């Protein structure tokens, strides 16, 4: 589908170029073919159009000239009225950042749980935009089978969506209870839980495949992994202990709160882990901001107190050597490696082994008190 991308640089954001590049990747991940793009600078969003009226007219001219463009992609969250106003003028579909991410989630979710979570997030997003869809039907419907309560089409659809949301939340809650039971069983069997977290496309799944000797889906695209995958892994002969490694959905900047809420079950493995491996694409010039975005989500899901090893990946692209760094207490804080080149992996295995042994010893000491 041919598209036009609009990137809005608010308050002269120094990370704008990197963020726009990321949005292009989002668009391509959704299957869009970018025909045109335009950059807009603003101090604050316009209440009616988000961008200024002059830019709206300029884009109208572009769309008239290139009439093969079917959708306009906005690298910002739009209000329902802004989206409705722009579509009314441009006569093409307008998709904002949140809607685009949801579309990719719907495309990639494979498990029953993942599909339920995507549907819930989409319905909650859709419920705020019903007026855009049903303005031509906001009148009382009569006739055979429709007499009685006198609901408008808008009210009826809102009620249907709310009922569906309740059903989905109930199903997800049951799945979460099942996860709790599985977690309790792992704890009873004294399994040590390790979760991979990190910015999308940081190389988590590649690292997972090496540590777990698996062949999960890996691609140079955003949100290649949506469904949590867990496997028992072997670390070394000194570890007489079950270790479970989980690969989780990648994070992204400005991830909407509704998505975090809806995907809480997917992120559950991270929030209940004994150890987090925070995978970072050290080759990305914007990786410090990516770390901050991931840490923000980790805090929101209540996982900020879990021991964490920073795993700086893709060192082969940055001319760095495999190494380990320690904090002021002499504990391993960072590992530099290349998952793609299988370099420095033993450093990470040893780090997991040491922390696993420390946690196991602490548990034994606590039981003996």
Binding residues for Mg(2+): 205, 225
Cβ-based neighbour number of residue 37 at 10 Å: 17
Contacts of 42 (CB under 8 A, 6+ apart): 8, 9, 10, 51, 52
Radius of gyration of the chain (CA): 24
Please give the DSSP secondary-structure letter assigned to residue 322.
-
Give dist(CA 220, CA 201) in Å, integer.
6
Question: Residue ranges for the binding site for GTP?
Answer: 198-205, 223-227, 247-250, 313-316
Question: Residue ranges for the binding site?
Answer: 198-205, 223-227, 247-250, 313-316
Query: Which secondary structure element, helix H or strand E, spans residue 336, and what is its range?
Result: strand 332-336
Give dist(CA 50, CA 76) in Å, integer.
9
Contacts of 145 (CB under 8 A, 6+ apart): none
Name which of 240, 225, 233, 227 is nearest 193 in CA terms: 233
Name which of 338, 319, 323, 226 is nearest 281 in CA terms: 338
């Amino acid at each position: 589908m041919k598209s036009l991308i609009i990137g809005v640089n608010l308050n002269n954001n120094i990370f704008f170029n990197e963020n726009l590049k990321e949005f292009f990747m989002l668009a391509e991940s959704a299957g869009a073919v970018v025909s045109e793009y335009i950059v807009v600078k603003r101090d604050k969003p316009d209440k009616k159009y988000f961008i200024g009226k002059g830019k709206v007219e300029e884009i109208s001219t572009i769309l008239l000239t290139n009439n093969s463009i079917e959708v306009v992609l906005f690298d910002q969250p739009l209000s329902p009225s802004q989206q409705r106003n722009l579509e009314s003028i441009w006569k093409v579909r307008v998709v904002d950042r949140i809607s685009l991410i949801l579309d990719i989630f719907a495309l990639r979710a494979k498990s029953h749980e993942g599909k339920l979570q995507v549907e819930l997030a989409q319905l909650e997003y859709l419920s705020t935009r019903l007026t855009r869809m049903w303005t031509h039907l906001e009148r009382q419907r009569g006739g055979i089978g429709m007499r009685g309560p006198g609901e408008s089409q808008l009210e009826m659809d809102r009620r249907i969506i709310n009922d569906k949301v309740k059903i989905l939340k109930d199903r997800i809650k049951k799945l979460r209870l099942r996860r709790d039971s599985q977690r309790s069983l792992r704890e009873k069997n004294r399994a040590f839980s390790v979760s991979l977290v990190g910015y999308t496309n940081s190389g988590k799944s590649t690292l997972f495949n090496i540590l777990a000797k698996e062949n999960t889906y890996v691609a140079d695209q955003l949100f290649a992994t949506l469904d949590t995958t867990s496997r028992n892994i072997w670390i070394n002969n000194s570890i007489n202990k079950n270790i479970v490694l989980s690969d989780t959905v990648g994070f992204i900047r400005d991830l909407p709160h509704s998505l975090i809420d809806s995907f809480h079950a997917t992120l559950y493995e991270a929030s209940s882990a004994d150890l987090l491996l925070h995978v970072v694409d050290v080759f990305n010039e914007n990786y410090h901001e990516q770390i901050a975005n991931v840490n923000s989500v980790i805090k929101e899901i209540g996982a900020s107190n879990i021991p964490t090893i920073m795993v700086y990946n893709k060192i082969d692209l940055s001319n760095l050597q495999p190494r380990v760094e320690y904090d002021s207490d002499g504990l391993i804080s960072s590992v530099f490696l290349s998952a793609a080149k299988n370099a420095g992996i033993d450093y990470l295995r040893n780090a997991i082994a040491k922390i696993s042994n420390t946690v196991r010893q602490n548990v034994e000491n606590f039981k003996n008190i």
